[in-house]
Structure 1
C-alpha cells in the first residue's frame, strides 16, 4: 500500500529503531544538534511526536492543544520497548490513503493532510539525524523522501518556523540532498558531538 501514498514512513522508522539499539544509557545526557536538548529529551520528543502524528493520520487529535515541552525528566526507563512500538504505529497509520485526504490536526494545529504528512516525515528524518549525530552513529536517509522534503522545506520562510524549524543554515547547492534538507530545517550538517559531553542534571525517571 505504501506505493499508493505520497511518502513511505517505513524507511525512517526502521532507521530510528536501528539507531535506538546503539544508544547507551551514558548517551542520555549527551548533547544533540537541538540546542539545550540532551539525548533523553530528544527521545521524549520522538515519543510524543510519534503519538501525535499517528493520531493525526487517523483523524484524531487526542490532546486538542499544543503538546507539553519535551523533557528528559519525562522519559520513562521503558523507552527502549515503548518507542519502537509507537514508531511502528506511526508508519502503519500513514500507509492508509485516507490519512492523506482532507485535513489533519496535531498539537492544536490543523493543516492539509498532505502537509501534515510532510511535516511528520521531516520530523522523523531530522530527529533521526540528530540522534545519530548525538550518539556517534551513521545515518542514511531515504533519497525518495529527501526529494520531497527538500521541495517542502524550500517553501518555508528563510528565517524558520517557530516551534518547528530554525533559521536556514547556508548549504552549497552541490551538497547532497540530506545536507540541503538539514540546512533548510535550520541545522548545521557539519555538527558533531563534543568529545567530552557535559553531563545533564536532569534525571531519567520511571
Structure 2
C-alpha cells in the first residue's frame, strides 16, 4: 500500500450518490443488515467526522465507539452537511502528518496508515451500499478495490472479530472480479438487490 492514499475520488462518488438520493428512498433497505438508507447516510455522517478527526489527531480512544446509526438522527440539512463533511475528510487525509504516528477512531488506537486505509474502505464500501440500495451503478478504481480487499481479508471470519464491522464472509468465486471478492470478504453479496419497490 502506498504511504498516502487519495480519498477524494471515493468521497466525491459517495457525496454525488447521496445528493441524488430522493427522499422516497430513505426508508428503503440497504446491503447493511437492519439499516435503511437514512440510517446508512447517518452512519456516513458519523464516520466522515470521526475519520477527519483521526487525520487531524483530535480523536481519542476515550471517545468510544460511535452511537448506533439511525435515520432518526439524520439532520434536516444533511444534503448540505454530508458533502461538507466528506470534503473535509478527504482534505484532512491529504496532509502527510495524517499518515504518521498513532491516532484514534471509533474508540480504537490505530496507526495513521491503518486509519487512512479504513477510512478509504468505509467510503468505497458504503458508496457501493448506497448505489445498490438506490438501484444505481458503482465503479471504483482497481487500487481502491485492492485496499478494501486487503483490509477485509485481514479480519478473521469469526463473530467476535467482525461484530460491528462486517457480517459473515459471503462466498465469492476465486475468479470473480477483485471488488466482488472484497465485497464477499466484507459480508456483502455482490448481486444484492433491494427488490421491487411498492407503488
Report the Cα offset of residue 5 of structure 1. 4.1
Structure with the greater relative contact order (CA < 8 A, sep ≥ 6): 1 or 2?
Answer: 1
**Distance in 2, Cα, partners of 1:40 & 1:148:** 26
Question: TM-score, length-normalised on structure 2?
Answer: 0.92
Secondary structure at the residue paired with 1:61? coil
Question: TM-score, length-normalised on structure 1?
Answer: 0.89
Cα RMSD between the aligned structures? Answer: 1.7
Q: List structure 1 runs of 4+ shifted beyond 3 angstroms.
A: none
**Distance in 2, Cα, partners of 1:197 & 1:143:** 36
Report the Cα offset of residue 53 of structure 1. 0.3
Is 1:129 aligned to residue 128 of structure 2? yes
Structure 2 unaligned segments of length 5 or more: list them.
none
**Distance in 1, Cα, partners of 2:95 & 2:14:** 21
Alignment of 1:28-177 (within 5 A): 28-61=26-59, 64-159=63-158, 161-177=162-178
The residue number in structure 1 matching 2:190 is: 189
* Number of positions where the alignment pairs a residue of Structure 1 with one of Structure 2: 195
Report the Cα offset of residue 196 of structure 1. 2.3
- Kept in 2: contact 1:168–1:186 (CA 8 A): yes
Report the Cα offset of residue 152 of structure 1. 2.4
**Distance in 1, Cα, partners of 2:35 & 2:120:** 20
Structure 1 unaligned segments of length 5 or more: list them.
199-206
